[in-house]
A and B are shown apart, each in its own frame.
Chain A
Amino acid sequence: MSILEVKNLTKKFGGLVATQDISMTVEKNSITAIIGPNGAGKTTFFNMITGVYQPTSGEILLESEKLNGLKPHIVCRKGIARTFQNIRLFNEMTVLENVMVGMHAHLKAGLFGILFNLPTTRKEELDSEIKAYQLLEYVGLEDFLNEKACNLSYGAQRRLEIARALAAEPKVLLLDEPAAGMNPKETTELTRLIRNMREEFNLTIILIEHDMRLVMEISEQIFVLDHGVKIAEGKPEYIRNNPKVIEAYLGTGAVHAG
């Protein structure tokens, strides 16, 4: 069963066509990778799905519901959460608070509840603290709960972004280059984390990644973009041997992938 469907998605920045007529169907509970050389339009594609950019034309459907034109925070409420290629944490806030912001849409407290610190608000707040802490445990950051986010190492920051996205309880999780800047050990852990997340939280995961070993190991389906156009899609074995892909992208990476 498909959960996310994209039809003929095009984005133009003035004269520049960032993505052109991209269509894809993503199966529920699958891990999908989007690869392609720098500037291929991968991040732009994520930005359109999450409502950061409005597509010039085309449709985005989450469980057959149209997402076009929705504000990013509504898209999040509909069940799509993401991480960012250039890490975007709330730097001056603590690690725990970062995760708690991720729960924003699920917290019901109103002005009066907060002002008078009603028991329901207090309970909700405590529950969300505990849940945020559990997510930190899950990504192995619980000992840094009171640390400022900007003081974490690069790899830890990427994992914090994942925990924050999980806090939003998404159906679909978009990861933009989650392994960028990670050392090999961290990348291995990340690979396991992504697999485990899918089971644990019943997620559909789409990731953009340049690390071919990770992509080939983890994904069930791969889409390849080049100059804004989808040039191939299929299973890892198929993509690995696709001449078009090798020409456009894998040229040097093929060695690693093999």
Chain B
Amino acid sequence: MKALWQNYRKNKLAQGIFLLLYIGITSLSLYLAQKSVTAFLLLLASLLLLYFTSFKNVTKWLIAGVVLVILLPFTASNGDGYQSYMEVATLVGIYISMALGLNVVVGMAGLLDLGFIAFFAVGAYSYGIFATAQANHFMPFGHYPLSGESFWIFILIGCFVAALFGILLGIPVLRVKGDYLAIVTLGFGEIIRIIFNNLDRPVNITNGAMGLPSVTPPSLFGIDFLYPSQFYYIVLIILVFTIFTVRRFEHSKIGRSWKAVRENEIAAQAMGVPLVKTKLMAFAIGASFSGMMGVVFAAKQAFVDPTSFTLLESITILVMVILGGMGSVPGVILGAAVMTILNLQVLTEITNWLNQLSTSGAISIPDALSPSKMQRMIFGLLLILFALYRPQGLLPAKNRKYDQKLLQKGSKEANGDSLREQSPIENAQEV
């Protein structure tokens, strides 16, 4: 058995065949089944399988692209559950993007932020206000709602406004550290929500607790985006952009300075890393993804109100990051996907099933105990279990490995009498 596994680890062909079989079977069953959550989840899990193959990165991206762009929507489109699957997939994408943003702040820069949902709210409201008649209440010029074409620009606006809020929040907040930072950001998150909840007087800007109904759907070349299956593609594009950006930053001077600040502030400063600027950058970049997804969220729901941006949401995103692995991009993606699916699919499915059982009289469960109401308790338990048994998360953060041979060669080419020969230190010492 073990030998077989080792063989599999080494053999790319075997991995390819297995992956192909897996994808084939799961997508076929999703295609044939009328409504099968299991098949849908199993097909999504093929991406995890893909992650663990030893293919080249480009190949992995290509396969993931085929599965997500073509296979998943196509096979799901056959059954009744099409839109509900796509709704779940869309929300998974939104949450992954936000979790990746929070991961920059918490995982990479080590700044505990408990009010992260505020940036999502800022994005949602920036589109919500201008894509409904709401803006007429206070804007001296122009007539609203804006057309659906403006949505695409608002993705950018949401990005920048959220980044700006990240900086505005950061300036006062970064004077405090550790636990205090957590408390202050928590306060900030709540303040933003309460402001949105109350900004209907004296000038009606957000329409308060009533929320903003009938947000204009995005439109492109005359096509209106109304269904989750359409939003799915918008989310996918932003998600790819997010992953790509986060990766670039992670392996750059900025990513290194985030980690350096996380590991040791004093040493980082002494090495020339500007503390405030580095932290503000983490806040701004982290927030910007949430801002973009906020805009998409507002358009998808066609309705924005403050109840979508509670503390529980901030905590949910934080749990995704911790569960997946702080600082680990693949980990956070997995963590966010697992949590969202658990939340939207697994818990509701179990609830439905239990409800059926109780209506048929087989068992009777008090309403208060239904699994979807125990969401918080389940998150709490998960957190405790992970803190105890796997504090580094599902897929722990890995450092980039540099190619010694390449650097050796580069070092030789760079200067003839290398520093190595000047060195008074004997080599090959044990660690």
Chain A interface residues (CB < 8 Å from chain B): 50, 52, 71-73, 76-77, 81-82, 84, 88-94, 96-97, 100-102, 104-105, 107, 109, 111, 114-115, 117, 121, 125-126, 129-131, 133-135, 137-140, 142-148, 151-153, 156, 159, 164-165, 167-168, 189, 192-193, 195-196, 200
Q: In the complex the two chains form, what is the Cα distance from A67 to B401 in whole Å?
A: 38
Task: Produce 1/0 per residue, B255-278, CB < 8 A to A.
Answer: 011011001101111111111000
Known contacts A72-B270, A133-B411, A156-B429: A89-B264 contact under CB 8 Å: yes
Q: A52-B269, A90-B268 are in contact. List 17 more A-B contacts (CB 8 A).
A: A88-B270, A90-B267, A91-B264, A92-B399, A93-B256, A97-B399, A97-B400, A101-B268, A104-B271, A130-B414, A133-B402, A137-B420, A138-B419, A144-B431, A145-B402, A165-B271, A196-B423
Interface CB pairs A-B, < 8 A, 27: A73-B274, A76-B270, A82-B270, A90-B263, A94-B400, A100-B256, A101-B256, A101-B257, A101-B271, A102-B271, A102-B272, A107-B253, A121-B252, A133-B402, A134-B411, A134-B414, A134-B420, A135-B419, A137-B419, A138-B420, A147-B431, A153-B429, A153-B430, A189-B424, A189-B426, A192-B425, A196-B424
Instruction: For residue A75, give the distance in angstroms from its CB to the closest CB of chain B.
Output: 8
Inter-chain contact A97/B419, CB cutoff 8 Å: no
B428 proximity list for chain A (CB < 8 A): 143
Flag whether B249 is at the interface (Cβ < 8 A): yes
Q: In the complex the two chains form, what is the Cα distance from A121 to B431 in whole Å?
A: 33
Q: In the complex the two chains form, what is the Cα distance from A79 to B430 in whole Å?
A: 33
A-B contact count (CB 8 A): 180
Chain B interface residues (CB < 8 Å from chain A): 245, 248-249, 252-254, 256-257, 259-260, 263-264, 266-275, 397, 399-402, 404, 407-408, 410-411, 414-415, 418-420, 422-431
Nearest chain B residue, comparing its CB with the CB of A82:
B270
Nearest chain A residue, comparing its CB with the CB of B256:
A101
- From the candidates B248, B267, B427, name the one contacting A89 in the complex (CB within 8 A): B267
B411 proximity list for chain A (CB < 8 A): 130, 133-134, 137
Instruction: For residue A201, give the distance in angstroms from its CB to the closest CB of chain B.
Output: 10
Of the listed residues B269, B397, B402, B424, the one surrounded by the most CB atoms of chain A closer than 10 A to its CB is B424
Inter-chain contact B264/A126, CB cutoff 8 Å: no
Inter-chain contact B402/A88, CB cutoff 8 Å: no
Q: In the complex the two chains form, what is the Cα distance from A84 to B264 in whole Å?
A: 12
B419 proximity list for chain A (CB < 8 A): 134-135, 137-138, 200
A92 proximity list for chain B (CB < 8 A): 259, 263, 397, 399
Inter-chain contact B263/A91, CB cutoff 8 Å: yes
Inter-chain contact B407/A129, CB cutoff 8 Å: yes
The 6 closest A-B pairs by CB, nearest first: A105-B272, A140-B425, A192-B424, A90-B263, A88-B267, A130-B410
Instruction: For residue B91, give the distance in angstroms from its CB to the closest CB of chain A.
Output: 27
Known contacts A73-B275, A82-B270, A104-B257: A140-B422 contact under CB 8 Å: no
Known contacts A107-B253, A134-B419, A140-B429: A72-B248 contact under CB 8 Å: no
Q: In the complex the two chains form, what is the Cα distance from A165 to B245 in whole Å?
A: 30
Nearest chain A residue, comparing its CB with the CB of B401:
A146
Q: In the complex the two chains form, what is the Cα distance from A105 to B271 in whole Å?
A: 8
Q: In the complex the two chains form, what is the Cα distance from A114 to B259 in whole Å?
A: 17
Known contacts A139-B425, A140-B429, A193-B425: A133-B256 contact under CB 8 Å: no
B273 proximity list for chain A (CB < 8 A): 73, 101, 104
Inter-chain contact B256/A104, CB cutoff 8 Å: yes
Inter-chain contact A90/B426, CB cutoff 8 Å: no
Nearest chain A residue, comparing its CB with the CB of B273:
A104
